[in-house]
Each structure stands twice: as C-alpha cells, then as structure tokens.
Structure 1
Amino acid sequence: MFKQIEAILVTKGAEYAAVCHGLQKTRAKVKVIPIPMGVSGLRNYLQTARLTQQRVLLLGLAGSLNPKYRLGNIVIYQSCCYQTPSGELLERECQQIPKRLSGSLVKGLTCDRLVHTSLAKTELSLHTGADVVDMESWLIRETFPEVAIVRVISDNYEQNLPDLNLALDSQGNLNPFSLALRMSQKPIASGRLIISSLKALKVLQTTTTALFLE
C-alpha cells in the first residue's frame, strides 16, 4: 500500500509546512493535500472537495493519553476510534506501513473538541482505551478505502493546554485574534505548548523525510 499512496493528507498550517519541508529532501512526487483542523471543518471540506484518492497517508500531531508515549515520539495507528454522542465507541483498523519507520503501534481516538486538560485526557483513556487523541483521523479513515496514519506526540498526557476551542471556527481555521486572547489567559501553559509543538513539528519533518527516502 505504502509505495502506491496517492496523496498525503495533513492539517493546514504549521503541520502542512513541516511535511512539505520534509518531503522536499526526497525525490518523492506524492501530492500533499492540506485539510482543515477538527471534525466540523474537515467534514464540510470532505463533502465539497470530492477527493478521489483510494490510498492515502495521514500525517500530523497528536496528544498523548498514555504515559508510555511522550513528546516527540512517533506513533503509527493500528486502529482509530470515535465515541458517538450516545457513548458508543466505533473503531476501525488502519493500514500499516513498512518497518523503515521506528514508531509505536497505537489506538488513536478522534474527538470533536481540543482536549486541553490532563483530567480530560485521563478520563478519555479510561473510557476508550485509546493511547493518543487527535481531531481528524476517524473522518479520514471513514472516507478513504485505505488509510495509514502516522503522527508525532505534541503534548504529554499530564500536560495542561490553553483552551483553544473557541478560537477554532466551523471551517477548521484558527482565528488569530481569538487564539492570541486564549493563549494570553494561560501564559505558562501557552509557552509550554509553543515549545512542545515546535519540537514535535521538527520530528514530523524528519519523519516525513525518513518515510520517503529511497
């Protein structure tokens, strides 16, 4: 599957830039498609974009729900799940990639909101058995026939983050003014988030290069 992937999907913004920079160091000609952040924006995008690819690779960042997986660790989704409003847990297996990449096999959870407190992370881990959390994987897995997912941990399970949910609009864009306001309300947590995100993005870039070097 991996040699035949038709596109890389990655959240637009810093994650997209990191993947593109990593890919530039290889000879790969695979298409990179920027997607919105979050379930709502991504759902709207997928309904109108009409992407026809059959085999895709989803790259990006994820939050840890398990103390085993720390900042900068590479995780490969063995499966991804989604908890419905009624509490039902849906789960689907993901495609695997070659052993050229050193990463841990995990169960990923997709949430409708940014999970920003250590307490919420603990509760999600207990209720779902997931190892990491993101906001896009389930929809991508549901949309495309064959999906491999590789992410880099950007925040540890015990790390509290600023609540940026109100800064994210229905189209999956972060409003700069609202983002700055939310981050100013939690300066220490915001500073830690910036540092950890930069570290994770660097790993994401090198991971992309490693995946596509011949």
Structure 2
Amino acid sequence: MQEIVFATNNQHKLEEIRRIVGDRFNVLSLEEIGCHEDIPETAETLEGNAWQKARYVKEHYGYDCFADDTGLMVDALGGAPGVYSARYAGPGHDSKANMSLLLKNMEDKEVRTARFVTVIALILGGKEMSFCGKVEGTILDSPEGDGGFGYDPVFRPDGEDCSFAMMSADAKNAISHRGRATAMLLDYLNSI
C-alpha cells in the first residue's frame, strides 16, 4: 500500500481523512514520520497555508504529502474567522473558546449565513495539485450536539435539520467541506 503523509497532528482530522480514504493509501500523520515541530501557517489564505505545510513536509522529510487548511467564513462578520478559524479566540486552538467568541460576535446579527471551506494541497511524485471543498450553511444561536469538532455544534449545513455535531461521521463526511475536497483528492489519486 502506498504511503502518503497528511500534514496534521489533529487526531479528529486524521480519523476523518483515514475513514474517507479507506485502504487506498496508508495515511501517515506528522507524528508518525517524526515531525514534532510546529509547521508555519503564516499565509493570508487557506490555500497558502495548505501549500506551506505540504511543501515543508516534502522539503524536510521527503514524503509525498497532502495538507489542508479549513476556515469558517461568516457573512455577517465579513468572512471572519476565515483563515484564523483555529485560533479565533487566541493562539491556544481552543475550540470551545472559539465557538463562544463566534456566538458572542453573532448575538445581534440577523444574517447568519456562513460556509466552511477546505483547501487540500497535494505533492505527489513531483507534481502539485490543489482541491477545494465548500459547504454552505447557517450559524445557530447556540451549540447543538456533542459530536464532531471545532465549530460543528453551531453550524447547520443547508438542506439539513441539524448541526454537523448531531450527524454521524459518515453522514457528515458525505456532505462536508473536507469530505468534498477529499473526494476530489481521491478522484485524482484513483485516476493516476
């Protein structure tokens, strides 16, 4: 089975991707290749951050690699938290604090439309490709459900009657931003 590195130490993301990829590739984490340093994410865009991470792994560890960056873009907040979604409430990557700050900033907002966007950057066999998945939805008034991670409890995707946090992993992956970007990645991998 071909090995490929997913440039993350986020166990939730790793489990989601491994579940979606199945047995097509052996997906390794940063920890599994001995990468323990914080890879810079200093770009102004999701795509820029994804490329920064993928190129870092390829240059420093030599593995074919893919990396993602995900953001929640809220219309009433001018697209925030966007590229800063993971550290919206500070550098600690505290999901509960991020969600609390988002809900506080949305208290007086009537327009609650938002979208999750995931960009995946792939370096494979010397070739570079990127894939973008999006899902439109609404920011809820309060958290619903205890599944998922990040902003899942306060995001209801369009066409659904519950938050991402109330869906099964398979149901979420079938329609999520990461699921859509990963499906494009898999289509590409299966075509080569």
TM range (shorter): 0.3 to 0.5
- TM-score where L is the length of structure 1: 0.34
> Which gives a bigger RCO, structure 1 or 2 (Cα 8 Å, sep 6+)?
1
